[in-house]
Structure 1
């Protein structure tokens, strides 16, 4: 895994513990050796610094965060090989601390650079959209985006699909909103965090996080960056604390998402296993 260099910024901070535009630039210059040490070759140091400055200008509340946390999160972003531009990832204030959050677009970028993963896609399903999970000999996901209701109605599910460079069968993961809520609710303060502001983004990231448990990774540096980014859990939500439902707890939709015979729910005869294993998959 990529190792973020030990922070030598220390507990020292500007007067009154708060940064401004001028002091931020001066203090950021002090961590440039750390940034250079972890930043991948395809991202110039100048570009990374420029994006960080723009991010701070757009969200001046970052200057109220602990300088130590702000600069360390900048180093984490550089280590992941992503830009804190609001698309690949974002550094956001959480109280007095700054938090680096890789976003779905950033994970897609890292996947494209990966040694074994050709692509990862993830989408949310809004209530009223046509969404169908087909199992059996011709397994596939059918989803028709309705632009008239996308973002205007509640989310009912999310899914992710990964394709490998070796041409093998896609790896799929599907979660109902009930399952996603279980992850979200591991943090009782979710209404004040990214789940409130970016619910669809967090739902997509949650299903990617579950999918990642089944992905093959090599020792390739780009694979390591992708693993690190996926494993960056939100500061307020532990995505690893993802309780697997039992057959008794699932509704028919959830059963289909897990490849469980709905009759088994009523009869309490079958417990849930891992969602659709690679061995069971048939090419779409």
Structure 2
């Protein structure tokens, strides 16, 4: 990790006013290392962080500690900091401090897939499914002693979302339960989230997924969940400004200030260079390396090589595509594939 840090510092020597994330890692490396699971090294943390910033550059102007805390919180929950997976999201948030100043910080938001994964780790409960209902679907439900839910999605134009439901199971009593929310109820939940209409809010980018999450969150209140899982679910929509081995016990610093402040924050131009997180480009995979990996993967995995190699680089290096690998990671993968192919001959 020290080599990466030294290269980063040399690369920004002409811009001393910019504080780099690598400086932050260096200063807090012991604290960060203690907060990470044993399976995640500080180098892997840097790699995951770099990938996140490439996919979500809007968070680069947020405070460093809130961003690092959000990523560590993600990793401690057992997820990768990749918003496109639907497990977690990161939203720039205008947070009002006690002295009245507004600080740009990262708000950690659980996605619906993240909530499902956390609940399904319980031995006593499970989420079976969550679905949105559209105006042209056939949908019927009733409550009471014998609740009924019937949903037949149309194969034609489904129209607009009119509601959402989630089905779960209480394993203790072997009982299936469900909750249903109308579109109006979904919108009330969205309105309660001050970042609901923000430019980078998951409500704007992934409305259907957030509607499902809303139903799952309501369902979770009816399920027998352990204290640990409840604490993990409670990390949703939080801002942390401390780093700890257990991020669930760190105080939420979110100040639910006025919608006007959020609106002005999300619409303002990001012009200041103060406390900008600068991610120094690393040496990326070469075309020669990429072609070599493809040929070796075809030999190793045959027809399924594309799926297998993507799964492999995701689990080994925390990246989604080959072109996101560094040259060193590519070299490691090439050597591994060469050895595996030799052993198979």
More helix, by proportion: 2
SS at match of 2:217: helix
- RMSD of aligned Cα (Å): 3.2
Distance change >3 Å, CA 195–CA 182, structure 1 → 2: same
Question: More deviation in 45-54 or 92-101?
Answer: 45-54
Shift of 1:176: 0.7
The answer for the alignment partner of 1:251 in structure 2 is none
Please give the alpha-carbon distance, in whole angstroms, between the structure 1 residues aligned to 2:232 and 2:238. 13
Please give the alpha-carbon distance, in whole angstroms, between the structure 2 residues aligned to 1:104 and 1:32. 32
SS at match of 1:214: coil
**What does the per-residue CA deviation read over 1:100-147, in whole Å, with 9 as the maximum and x for residues that have no partner?**
111111112222222212334211111111111144564231112335
TM-score by length of 1: 0.63
User: Which structure is richer in relative contact order (CA contacts within 8 A, separation 6 or more)?
Assistant: 2
Matched, 1:204 2:208: no
Please give the alpha-carbon distance, in whole angstroms, between the structure 1 residues aligned to 2:118 and 2:193. 27
Among candidates 158, 180, 204, match of residue 174 of structure 1: 180
Matches for 1:1-284 after TM superposition, within 5 Å? 16=17, 23-28=20-25, 31=28, 33-34=30-31, 37=34, 44-45=40-41, 49-86=46-83, 87=85, 88-94=87-93, 96-135=104-143, 138-146=146-154, 148-149=156-157, 153-166=159-172, 168-187=174-193, 190-192=196-198, 193-219=201-227, 224-225=228-229, 227-229=231-233, 232-233=236-237
Shift of 1:39: 5.0
Distance change >3 Å, CA 33–CA 97, structure 1 → 2: same
Instruction: Provide structure 2 residue ranges, at least 5 long, that are not aligned to the other structure.
Output: 1-14, 95-103, 240-253, 257-345
SS at match of 1:84: coil
Please give the alpha-carbon distance, in whole angstroms, between the structure 1 residues aligned to 2:207 and 2:58. 21
Please give the alpha-carbon distance, in whole angstroms, between the structure 1 residues aligned to 2:26 and 2:230. 27
Please give the alpha-carbon distance, in whole angstroms, between the structure 1 residues aligned to 2:229 and 2:30. 19
Please give the alpha-carbon distance, in whole angstroms, between the structure 1 residues aligned to 2:166 and 2:74. 23
Shift of 1:229: 2.4
Distance change >3 Å, CA 68–CA 231, structure 1 → 2: closer
Distance change >3 Å, CA 31–CA 148, structure 1 → 2: farther
Higher-Rg member (1/2) = 2
Instruction: Provide structure 1 residue ranges, at least 5 long, that are not aligned to the other structure.
Output: 1-13, 239-284
Distance change >3 Å, CA 188–CA 230, structure 1 → 2: closer
Please give the alpha-carbon distance, in whole angstroms, between the structure 1 residues aligned to 2:169 and 2:137. 24
**2:125–2:169 CA contact under 8 A, matched in 1:** yes
Please give the alpha-carbon distance, in whole angstroms, between the structure 2 residues aligned to 1:32 and 1:155. 46
TM-score by length of 2: 0.53
Please give the alpha-carbon distance, in whole angstroms, between the structure 1 residues aligned to 2:177 and 2:232. 20
Distance change >3 Å, CA 128–CA 100, structure 1 → 2: same
